[in-house]
Amino acid sequence: MSKRACDLGFVKLDGKAVKASKEVSPGQRIVLDLPIRYLEAEVLALPGGRNVSKKAGRELVRILVREERDVDLDNMNVDIS
């Protein structure tokens, strides 16, 4: 889903749309602007390896804004599958 979200322009890094392969650095801001959710986070650190547990992942970012959106999913014209 992350690649698809990037391809559709739902993901921004420091205000610019990015591809899924874009590298991030501590201090950068990531925005996920989906039809059902808006999330803005700051990257605090990068993981030491490829596999990161959910608990450890929570220490790598700081959530700045989290908003759920009330939308009618049956009438959406966006396919994020």
Q: Give the rounded percent of residues in the chain with a pLDDT score beyond 90.
A: 62
Quick one: DSSP state of residue 20? T
pLDDT category at 50 given cuts 50, 70, 90 is confident
Three-state DSSP class for residue 41: strand
Q: Say which residue the tokens 């989290």 belong to.
A: 66
Spell out the domains of the chain, with CATH numbers in brackets: 2-73 (3.10.290.10)
Other Cβ atoms less than 10 A from the Cβ of 31: the count is 19
Q: Is the pLDDT of residue 54 over 90?
A: no
| Structure confidence at residue 76 (pLDDT) | 62
Please state, rounded to an integer, the average pLDDT across all residues of the chain: 88
pLDDT value at residue 60: 93
- In this prediction, residues 10-39 reach a mean pLDDT of 94
